[in-house]
Chains A and B, each alone.
Chain A
Amino acid sequence: MNGEEELPGPADGSVLDLLTRPLIGEITTLDILWIAIILIAGITIAQFVKIWLKRSLGDKVPASDLDLMTTIVTYLIYLVVILSILPHLHFDLTGLWVAGGIGAVAIAFATQNIVANFVSGIFLMFERPIKIGDTVIIGSTWATVQKIQLMSTIVRAFDGTYIRMPNAKLFTSDITNLVIHPARRFEYTIGIRYQDDADKAIRVIKDMIEKEPYALKSPGPAVYVDKLDDSSVNIVVRIWSPSLYWWGLRTELLWKLKVELEKNDIIVPFPQRELWFNNILKTDMKTIKGPPPLKEVPLQEAEKPDAGIGKSKPGETYDW
């Protein structure tokens, strides 16, 4: 046949021939099969991922955020599916990749803050350092967490103000969660007079703590003399309490302890300093109730100039 290579035709009849025979332009039956497989697999994976996301994050992420998240993930999967199908449609992707790359760089620059917040939000949801209702310190802000969203977290400061915190900022801040553990400890320092009985004071304090429901039995309280201070003997009181109730206990118990100690004749002293004078007259300072009385000194007459015996001046004589 004039040396021309014979194209495979239907007469060959093999399955491979059938699959590789162009149907539309350069698209073969095999390409169409691949497209069908990729489409089915993509749609199945997208559905599976959607269901998995809803099941695993349903109780952690608000419904609106979850919808947004599943939509984005689904579109990303569909994008991968489309890009996988294009070679089977014999599109030349070189130009598309170049344009896409340039576009991606531009979009990345434009949306870096949004992406940072989004990614931080995802990590926060998985790491869960905070949850709704927790009392937290974020940076220097003391607040209660109200809402954790994909892009931002809403907290209410202790003065009632509304604060929207971008997740990227939250993620890179120091987060102190005050209630994440079931129990926490607080401490008082109570001073008593030097003449008071410290053992009795400790007993009174322990009895008072025992009556408080929220002062935990275990770990038990620690009450001990910590310091012999300038004006007082200092007793340290350390109490564990349920994290959600520690503030109420801390604010109420101190005054109760003060009142109970005073009922038992143990006084919390004022700052005071005792001064000792090194008095050479050995005066009994305790007997002095007021300023000493003025002592009257009798008037002494001045000596008469001629009455005394003075020292004779040279050349003077006295008549005896």
Chain B
Amino acid sequence: MYGRYGYEFCIEKDDLSLCFSRDDDFLRYSRDLGGSKVERVIASESGTVIINPVEPLNLPDEVTRYLEIRFEPIEIEPGATRRVYLTFPIEIAVFVMKDDAYRCIDILSRVTPKYSLYGPTDSGVITRYHYSELFLRSPNPDPSLYGVVELDLMNTMKGWVEVSRVVFENYGMKIYYDTDLVSMSAGMKIIKQNVAYTAFENKPLRDGMQKSIELYYTRTVAGVEKPNYYEMLEGLV
């Protein structure tokens, strides 16, 4: 269902129905997902519709810019780097584009959102919560429900470390998609028993994947290679 479309089309998948249709000089957008309906009237002669997964931080409201993924605890030996795979919830954005200008007209998700608190109640941050199984090889979840995070865990310490969660900041979240898979690549560098840096890498999980339009733009200055990172100060377990 992801991709680029002209102005008149319909998508129907399970409980999702999404249509663009002509109504005189206007374009009418209607979407029904499990009884939740959205309609929009768009004044546009010609253009492109883009449907792609976006950062899962928009529904039911933009409460937070942090995504927290909890998983089965994993023990990492000193100085080791291990690659694991996790799932993350999908939110799907519908954009209309004319020339180089695009506008998001709808965001939908088939996963019920849940929020959590990372850190103490006075100084922590609200996060979008997701529990994932820990995979050693890339899983193949339904791309309309879940994506896959390829996560490199780097233990830079001289002792063993237990990790059971990772917290990402939305800035620099690079999502790639094709017909079968939605993916992100990320790293987690553990520098103390309770402190780690997390960041995204700008690369697809496999060749030929399309890059999603980002709702949150990266803060890096163009040409500067230093990636954005989030400092997990409130623990790894």
Residues of A within 8 A of B (CB): 181-184, 210-211, 213-214, 216-219, 240, 242, 244-245
Contact = CB atoms under 8 A, between A and B. Distances in A.
A217 B116 contact: yes
Interface of A is mostly: loop
Nearest to B113: A213
B115 interface: yes
A213 B125 contact: no
B122 interface: yes
B235 to A, nearest CB: 11
A183 B112 CA distance: 20
A183 B124 contact: yes
Given A213-B115, A217-B116, A181 B121 contact: yes
Contacts of A211: 112
Contacts of B112: 211, 213
Interface string B50-90: 00000000001101100000000000000000000000000
Most buried by A among B60, B61, B115, B126: B115
B141 to A, nearest CB: 20
Contacts of A181: 121-123
A218 B116 contact: yes
A17 B115 CA distance: 81
B22 to A, nearest CB: 36
Interface in B108-137: 112-118, 121-126, 129
B62 to A, nearest CB: 11
Most buried by B among A181, A182, A219, A244: A182
A185 to B, nearest CB: 8
B50 to A, nearest CB: 27
Given A181-B122, A182-B126, A183-B124, A240 B117 contact: yes
Given A214-B115, A244-B63, 17 more contacts: A182-B117, A182-B123, A182-B124, A183-B117, A184-B121, A213-B113, A213-B114, A213-B115, A216-B117, A216-B126, A217-B114, A218-B116, A218-B118, A218-B129, A219-B121, A240-B117, A242-B126
A183 B129 contact: no
Contacts of A244: 63
A182 B121 contact: yes
B60 A218 contact: no
B63 A216 contact: no
Contacts of B121: 181-184, 219, 240
A215 to B, nearest CB: 8
A130 to B, nearest CB: 16
B63 A242 contact: yes
Nearest to A214: B115
Contacts of B123: 181-182
A211 B61 CA distance: 16
B10 to A, nearest CB: 29
8 contacts: A182-B122, A182-B123, A182-B124, A210-B114, A211-B112, A218-B116, A219-B121, A242-B115
A217 B126 contact: no
Contacts of B63: 214, 242, 244-245
Contacts of B117: 182-183, 216, 218-219, 240
B125 to A, nearest CB: 6
Nearest to A211: B112
B114 A183 contact: no
